[in-house]
Structure formats: structure tokens, C-alpha cells
Amino acid sequence: MICPKCGAAVAEGSLYCNHCGRKAVSRNVHPKAKNVLMSVLLITYGFAILTCFIVNLAVSGLLSWFYIVLCGVVLLFCATVLPLLLPKGRLLVSGLATSGMVYLLLYACSALVNGDWLLSFAYPVATFGLLAAWLIVFICRIRTNWFIKSALIALIAMVLTISVNSFTDYVFSGIPFDINIFFNNTWTSRNIGNKATAWCLIFYACAALVVGSMKAIAKRTKQD
């Protein structure tokens, strides 16, 4: 398949052109394969819900932890089946639905144990992760080559790597947010993995940005 915008070859089944980012005209998904996948997922989800419903009633005489299972299954449905059902805007709608179900699942867990950690702990940590996920989705939609996209995603992963421990410490224990530990000479057992990963991501992001920029300049020069 040929991209109608830049003329580059696009692999069959790809949603976007790897060179210019344009949406591919052909989104061929074999109907039978799609229907089989949806049927398997729906049967699996339905079986899980029915089994947990019966077991929860049989053991407890009422529904309690079943709601956690229900929210978890609906979350999986939004992430796996819903994109197959929506013809347009599938990424946005399914992403919003999945994000909403994350909060609902946390609420179900909190309600079951009568916890007081929902607003103070669970929702802030979930929001931190979801914001990063949505940033990655936004980057994937940018019309540029995949070297630049992967570099930006690597930078987001780097920020998460160096900030997630400090952020969770702040949320759970009130410890001041501090990421300087990743830029000094201390390599403790607590930060050695994250610190090494962060520097690897930085080096990759720099290299990918250079390669991606060179490709973008060469492409623009060729078009001119």
C-alpha cells in the first residue's frame, strides 16, 4: 500500500504512515478474524462475570468483591473490544472509557474495604500514570517520523522513571518531592535500577532525535 501524501510504502494493516504520520487509507482487518477475536473476548469476559457472580453469592450470600471483578472486566472490555466496535474516534472514546473505568475500579476496591485512601492516595497515583499514557497517545498522533516519536516517548518514560518514587513517597508519606538523587553520584540499592534506566532513556532519546531530525530535513529537502 502507498501513502497518498508522501508516496512511501505502508505495510498492509498499518493505521498510519511511518514517514509522514498520515492515516492510512486502507484499514483492512479480516472480518472473520475480527469477529472471532470479539467472540472469544466476549465469551471469556461473560464467563468470568457469571462465575464470580455465582461464587460470590454462594460463599457470602451477597455481592461484595464481585463489583471489583465487574469493574475490572468492563475495563478490559473498554480497552480490547470497544475499539473494534467503533468505526471512528476509537482511540479517543475507548481511551476515555478505559481511563474512567480505572477510577471506578479503584472506587469499588475502596468501597469494599471501607478505605480512606481513595482521594488521598489512589486517585493521585492513577492520575499520574494516566496523564503519562495520554501524553504518549498524543505523541503517537503527531505527524512526524517514528524516530522523533520514539524519542519523545522515551523522554516521558525517563521523567516517569526519575519521578515515580518521589511522587509516591510524597503522596503516601508526605516526603518532599525530590528528583535530584538521580543526577548526583549516589547509586543506592533503591535507585540504581531507575537511575540506570533513566540515563539509558536519555541517551536513546538524544540519538533518536538526531536521526529523526536528519530524516525530516532530508525528506523536506527532497520534496523542495
Q: What is the pLDDT of residues 77-122, one digit of tens each?
A: 999 998 888 876 577 888 899 999 999 999 999 999 888 889 888 9
At residue 187, the pLDDT reads 61
The burial of 148, by beta-carbon neighbours within 10 Å (0-12 exposed, 13-18 middle, 19 or more buried), is given as buried
Instruction: Dig out the grid coordinates for 89 from the structure.
Output: 474516534
Whether 153 is covered by a domain: the verdict is yes
Q: Is residue 123 included in any domain, yes or no? A: no
* 183 and 82 share one domain: no
Q: Is the pLDDT of residue 153 over 90?
A: yes
As for how many domains the chain has, the answer is 2
Co-location of 60 and 157 in the same domain:
no
User: Is 135 within the bounds of a domain?
Assistant: no
Q: What's the whole-number average pLDDT of the chain?
A: 83
Task: Give the range of the structural domain holding residue 67, as residue numbers without chain letter.
Answer: 1-115
pTM: 0.71
Indicate if 88 and 5 belong to the same structural domain: yes
User: What integer pLDDT is reported at residue 27 of this predicted model?
Assistant: 46
The closest of 102, 125, 100, 122 to 113, measured between CA atoms, is 122
